[in-house]
Amino acid sequence: MQTDSVSSDASRAQAMRAVSGAFSKLDPREQAKNPVMLMVYISAILTTGLFFLSLAGVSDSRPGYICAIAATLWLTVLFANFAESLAEGRGKAQADSLRAAKKDVVAKKLNDCLAARGTHEADPSAFYERECTKVSSSELGREDVVFVRAGDQIPADGEVIVGAASVDESAITGESAPVIRESGGDRSSVTGGTTLLSDWLVLRVTQERGKSFLDQMISMVEAASRKRTPNEIALQILLVALTIVFLLVTLALFTFSDFGATLAGRANPTTITNLVALFVCLAPTTIGALLSAIGIAGMSRLNRANVLAMSGRAVEAAGDVDILMLDKTGTITLGNRQACAFVPVDGASEEELADAAQLASLTDETPEGRSIVVLAKERFGIRGRDLQGSNMTSIPFTAQTRMSGVDFDGHEIRKGAADAVCAYVESYGGVYGDACRRAVEEISRAGGTPLLVARDHTILGVVYLKDIVKQGIKENFASLRKMGIKTIMITGDNPTTAAAIAAEAGVDDFLAEATPESKLDAIRRYQAEGHMVAMTGDGTNDAPALAQADVAVAMNSGTQAAKEAGNMVDLDSNPTKLIDVVRIGKQMLMTRGSLTTFSIANDLAKYFAIIPALFVGLYPQLDALNVMRLASPESAILSAIIYNALIIVVLIPLALKGVRYREVSSAQLLKHNLLVYGLGGVALPFVAIKAIDMILVACGLA
């Protein structure tokens, strides 16, 4: 209950800030950024001037009617400003929490030669602590070297050049579990504002002052650096063109009514106030008011997923992606091979094999080794031995032997790669039999890893290690396939193993024995065929492919080269986030398309609802088209313009939340949009305008 209360208070505070922002955006410089709403703004000023003229006796309509039109037009502008301010407000709330994590701290600055010298000291941390110069973190620039020890806040984005330590990144990612960061490899990157939990690190700063990931994310979520995307600009041009067309239509209708009034020998009943109101009703004000909010809300949803987009273009491109390239390890599979079967050969029993495999794995702390111990216990109740005081000698794994094992009670037990164990056995006169060879081949064809176990230079059998496919990943790929997205697994495995895992995971294709060059060539080939390609990566060897991809999500924990090559950075460093990024991009495009369809359909409906009532005085025959039987021309115009303002408010939640995500093909999506937002957009104005007209009549306002 307390959490709900806090959430309610936060929402109320955001709403109040949005109301204040709606009025501050009445600045003409702000209104000029949205050409459609600028026309409504000018119309509101014009009708306000007409109202004051009517009070002075210079009037083309009743003062009360002009006042109602002017007030409604001002509300239309304010509602549009409110929608944009509310979208920005959500980002500002997130920016406040990020800004709290970003604060100036004391940084312990070193120079390069001291950093290198410290590695030769008996106690490097004491040396670095003694030799550092303390400065403010705001003074650090790119290539500066700093020392951080347990309990210190990391002062700037950087790359670990010396040391390994546990880092708390919860202030940035929201994930409470600490992560390991170390020099070398693909887990060397750290983010300013995070906290060192253990040991010490020497870092090289990788960002200029004021351009850290936190700075960029704060700027993005506040919409301060958000630029309109190409599609958004194209839609804005279309809306401006439609506005100009409807302006010409309105002027033509005035000329037409003036000509009709002259023929009938009477004064023209179509006033300037009516013309202004008619123009606002016909212009695409609904989507014009919500367009910016839709874009900002889309970026905000991405930021809430802890993904930093370097540009709005990347988010939009995510919505158009039709090729998804994903690493196998850690994305499609768990990344840790697990023992799933014991396959005995040459007369050995399965229990005998399991016992020997477990003995060889008792001191093996790898996930594979632990899984062998667990499987032997589950299958045969074999429990780990008490090694205290035993005559067991552990044989560690080495890159040269590619085997490990134990010497136990006079027996030599070894496990390892098939060719390594085969060579070991044959060197002592043992035999690598046909049954063992067939078992190895069958496991390899099935996508597994065969691990041979030998005792006293005799092969007992094979342990089947399986790369476990993540739960639910197959359903994810099936959903993407419905949307017309082709999934491609990237792996360093051989083609046989890759094919087996691809079939189990449900991907559409795979790239086996992948190299940086083959990844880059594959992306270029798909792009040359007209596809939009997305991929994820974290290593320096991924940088060329990330730079080439249309949507490139780099892991925050990865190398600086990968982050600079990508156009998005996942602060959680979760490779499966790429799927969510594509969905968020598609949802933003779906929302924009749905509301554009609804807005244009609304304009058509309002046109047919208003015109008959407006001109029935000149042409009585038009009364047959007044199907809603609106009370008068004035009530028709006023009802339509009130509806035009209120529909913006009604659609604000949809613009901010996005339309419901539907994993269907483009053709099905188009059909659904035309049915719901097209026909709905035509029908709703007839019902709503009639209801408002009845209320105005009942209240004596029409």
Check whether 255 is labelled as a binding-site residue: no
Check whether 467 is labelled as a binding-site residue: no
Check whether 542 is labelled as a binding-site residue: yes
338 pairs with which residues across the strands? 466
Whole-number Å distance between alpha carbons of 582 and 570: 13
Token pair 């659609």: residue: 651
Check whether 693 is labelled as a binding-site residue: no
205 pairs with which residues across the strands? 158
Check whether 257 is labelled as a binding-site residue: no
624 contacts: CB under 8 Å, gap ≥ 6: none
Q: How many residues can be counted in the chain?
A: 702
Check whether 401 is labelled as a binding-site residue: yes
Check whether 403 is labelled as a binding-site residue: yes
Whole-number Å distance between alpha carbons of 518 and 26: 54
Q: With contact defined as beta carbons under 8 Å apart, do 47 and 70 qualify?
A: yes
Check whether 7 is labelled as a binding-site residue: no
Q: With contact defined as beta carbons under 8 Å apart, do 346 and 437 qualify?
A: no
Check whether 415 is labelled as a binding-site residue: yes
With 0-12 / 13-18 / 19 or more C-beta atoms within 10 angstroms meaning exposed / middle / buried, residue 511 is buried
Q: Is residue 603 annotated as a catalytic residue, yes or no?
A: no
Backbone angles phi, psi at 56, to 5 degrees: -90, 5
Token pair 């794995």: residue: 361
Backbone angles phi, psi at 396, to 5 degrees: -70, 160
**Other Cβ atoms closer than 10 A to 149:** 16
Beta pairing class for 533-537 and 551-555: parallel
> From residue 334, how far is each of 187, 466, 493 by CA, in Å?
18, 10, 15
Residue in 144, 327, 550, 572 annotated catalytic: 327
Check whether 399 is labelled as a binding-site residue: yes
CA terminus-to-terminus distance, the chain:
47
Q: With contact defined as beta carbons under 8 Å apart, do 250 and 43 qualify?
A: no
**What percentage of the chain's residues is helix, strand, coil (to nearest 5)?**
55, 15, 25
- Least Cα distance to 368 among 231, 468, 508, 496 occurs for 468
Q: With contact defined as beta carbons under 8 Å apart, do 476 and 482 qualify?
A: no
Q: With contact defined as beta carbons under 8 Å apart, do 43 and 276 qualify?
A: yes
Q: With contact defined as beta carbons under 8 Å apart, do 515 and 302 qualify?
A: no
Beta pairing class for 449-455 and 411-416: antiparallel
Backbone angles phi, psi at 153, to 5 degrees: -85, 135
Check whether 404 is labelled as a binding-site residue: yes
- Least Cα distance to 48 among 63, 62, 65, 67 occurs for 67
Q: With contact defined as beta carbons under 8 Å apart, do 693 and 630 qualify?
A: yes
**Other Cβ atoms closer than 10 A to 234:** 11
307 pairs with which residues across the strands? 570
Q: With contact defined as beta carbons under 8 Å apart, do 689 and 646 qualify?
A: no
Check whether 397 is labelled as a binding-site residue: yes
The whole-angstrom distance between residue 348's C-alpha and the CA centroid of its chain comes to: 53
Backbone angles phi, psi at 416, to 5 degrees: 170, -170
Rg (the chain; Cα; Å): 34
3-state secondary structure 424-459: HHHHCCCCCCHHHHHHHHHHHHCCCEEEEEEECCEE
Check whether 29 is labelled as a binding-site residue: no
386 contacts: CB under 8 Å, gap ≥ 6: none
Whole-number Å distance between alpha carbons of 412 and 457: 7
Beta pairing class for 486-490 and 323-327: parallel
Known binding-site positions for ATP: 364, 368, 397-404, 415
Supply the residues annotated as catalytic.
327
Known binding-site residues for Mg(2+) equal 538, 542
List residues forming the annotated binding site: 364, 368, 397-404, 415, 538, 542
